[in-house]
C-alpha cells in the first residue's frame, strides 16, 4: 500500500487513487486544504500498484534536446482572453477537430478548480487563463486511458507533477496522446482560495473570475471577480492580496518547495508559459498583449506546433537566455518561514490582514538574515 515516508513529497496527483483495483484509496484534504491519499487497509489486497504508480517513488528520468520559441496567436480576441499568447487554444482546437478530447483545469459551479474534459471547440474557453489554485485531478487519468484505448486523440494539460502522475498511471507511451505542462511557480491551497473567494464575494453569486485580466495590459494584469447582480471586484495584481500571497509563497503545497519536476528535461511534449523578459530577447515579439514561451520537448510536440504555424507569430529563441527570465522552470519556490503562521491563523484573521501580516513578517526575517550575513563578513 502507498506510504510516502515524507508527506511533503506527495504532489496530490491522484495516480494511486486512479489505479487501485479495489478502490480502497481515497484522497482527503488535510488541515491546509490539500489532497493526500488515505488507504482503507481492510480492503487493500497488497497488489502494490499504488506504490509502483507513484511518480515520486518511481520518478522517470528524461533526456531530451528542448527547443524554445516565442509565440503568440494572430487572433487578437483569443489572445486577450488568454493569460499569455493564446497558443493553447489553437492546439486544443486542432485536437478536437481531429475527433479528439481535451483535458484541462476549469472552474466548477462553486468556482473551485478541477480537471475535466471537453469535446467541442466552444467549450475550450473554460480552460483558458491561469488558475492559481491546485486543481483536483479526480479520476481523469482513468478517463484519459479509456479515450486512448478507444483510439481517440487526447490532449492533457496540467502542471509538471500532474503530467508525471498521468504518464506513470498509463505505464506506456501512446501515439494519440499529447501532454502539455506549464512553467509552474507552485500550487496554492484550495482552502486559502476558498477563504479569499468567500470573503470577496460576501454571499453574492459569482459568475466569472479572472486571475489575469488584461485591461491594463499583459504585464500589469489584474484580478477580476464578477457577480450575478452586475457588480464586480477589480484590483491590480500587484495590489491584490491573493496574488501577492501566491507570489510570496505563503500557501503553496509543501512539495512545491522542493519540487521534483523542476527541470528542462520534461515528460510533456510541450511546455507553455508567459514569456517574461521577451522584450529583452526579441523586441519584435513584444507588444504588451501577451507572448507565450513555448518549449518543444519531443517530436510529438514539434509536430503539434507545426500544425498551427500559419496562425501564429513565432521566433526561435535561445533556451538558456529565456530561462534567465523564467527561472521557475528549474527552481523551486522559496520555502517561506511564515507559511506555518499563515495556516495556523487561517481561521482567525481576515484573508487580506493575514496575508499582509505574513508578508510583512517575512520581509523582516529576510532583512535580519541579510544584516547578520553582512556583520559576519
The edge-to-edge listing of strands for the beta sheet with 232-236 is 206-213, 222-227, 232-236
Check pLDDT > 90 for residue 360. Answer: no
Predicted confidence band of residue 6 (pLDDT cuts 50, 70, 90):
low
Q: Which pLDDT belongs to residue 370?
A: 42
C-alpha cell at position 283: 523586441
pLDDT tens profile 86-110? 999 999 999 999 999 999 999 999 9
Cβ contacts of 341 within 8 Å, gap of 6 or more: 357, 358, 361
Average pLDDT value over all residues in the chain: 94
Banded pLDDT at 186 (limits 50, 70, 90): very high
- pTM of this structure: 0.94
Give SS3 for 237.
Answer: coil
The 10s digit of each residue's pLDDT in 282-322 is 999 999 999 999 999 999 999 999 999 999 999 999 999 99
∠ CA 350-249-239 to the nearest 5 degrees?
A: 55
Q: What is the pLDDT of residues 121-172, one digit of tens each?
A: 999 999 999 999 999 999 999 999 999 999 999 999 999 999 999 999 999 9
The C-alpha angle with vertex 248 and arms to 258 and 54, in degrees rounded to 5, equals: 25
pLDDT higher than 50, residue 367: no
Check residue 361 and give its pLDDT.
67
336 closest CA partner among 254, 250, 258:
250
Note whether 332 and 262 are within 8 A (CB). yes
Amino acid at each position: 500500500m502507498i506510504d510516502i515516508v515524507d508527506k511533503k513529497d506527495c504532489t496530490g496527483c491522484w495516480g494511486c487513487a486512479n489505479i487501485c483495483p479495489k478502490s480502497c484509496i481515497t484522497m482527503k484534504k488535510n488541515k491546509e486544504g490539500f489532497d493526500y491519499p488515505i488507504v482503507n487497509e481492510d480492503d487493500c489486497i497488497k497488489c502494490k500498484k499504488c506504490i509502483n504508480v507513484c511518480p515520486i517513488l518511481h520518478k522517470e528520468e528524461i533526456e531530451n534536446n528542448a527547443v524554445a520559441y516565442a509565440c503568440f496567436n494572430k487572433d487578437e480576441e483569443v489572445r486577450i482572453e488568454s493569460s499569455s499568447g493564446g497558443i493553447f487554444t489553437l492546439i486544443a482546437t486542432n485536437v478536437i477537430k481531429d475527433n479528439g478530447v481535451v483535458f484541462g483545469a476549469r472552474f466548477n459551479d462553486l468556482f473551485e478548480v478541477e480537471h475535466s474534459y471537453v469535446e467541442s471547440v466552444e467549450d475550450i474557453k473554460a480552460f483558458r487563463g491561469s488558475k492559481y489554485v491546485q486543481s483536483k485531478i479526480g479520476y481523469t487519468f482513468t478517463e484519459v486511458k479509456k479515450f486512448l484505448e478507444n483510439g481517440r486523440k487526447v490532449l492533457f494539460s496540467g502542471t509538471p507533477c500532474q503530467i508525471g502522475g498521468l504518464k506513470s498511471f498509463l505505464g506506456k507511451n501512446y501515439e494519440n496522446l499529447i501532454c502539455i505542462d506549464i512553467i509552474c511557480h507552485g500550487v496554492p491551497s484550495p482552502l486559502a482560495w476558498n477563504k479569499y473567494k468567500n470573503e470577496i464575494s460576501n454571499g453574492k453569486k459569482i459568475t466569472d473570475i479572472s486571475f489575469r485580466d488584461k485591461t491594463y495590459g499583459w504585464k500589469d494584469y489584474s484580478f477580476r471577480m464578477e457577480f450575478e447582480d452586475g457588480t464586480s471586484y477589480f484590483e491590480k495584481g500587484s495590489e491584490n492580496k491573493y496574488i501577492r500571497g501566491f507570489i510570496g509563497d505563503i500557501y503553496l503545497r509543501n512539495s512545491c518547495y522542493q519540487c521534483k519536476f523542476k527541470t528542462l528535461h520534461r515528460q510533456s511534449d510541450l511546455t507553455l508559459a508567459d514569456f517574461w523578459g521577451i522584450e529583452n530577447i526579441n523586441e519584435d515579439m513584444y507588444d504588451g498583449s501577451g507572448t507565450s514561451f513555448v518549449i518543444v520537448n519531443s517530436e510529438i510536440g514539434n509536430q503539434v506546433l507545426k500544425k498551427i504555424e500559419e496562425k501564429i507569430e513565432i521566433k526561435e529563441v535561445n533556451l538558456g537566455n529565456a530561462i534567465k527570465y523564467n527561472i521557475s522552470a528549474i527552481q523551486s519556490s522559496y520555502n517561506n518561514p511564515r507559511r506555518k503562521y499563515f495556516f495556523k491563523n487561517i481561521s482567525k484573521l481576515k484573508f487580506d490582514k493575514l496575508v499582509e501580516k505574513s508578508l510583512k513578517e517575512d520581509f523582516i526575517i529576510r532583512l535580519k538574515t541579510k544584516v547578520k550575513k553582512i556583520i559576519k563578513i
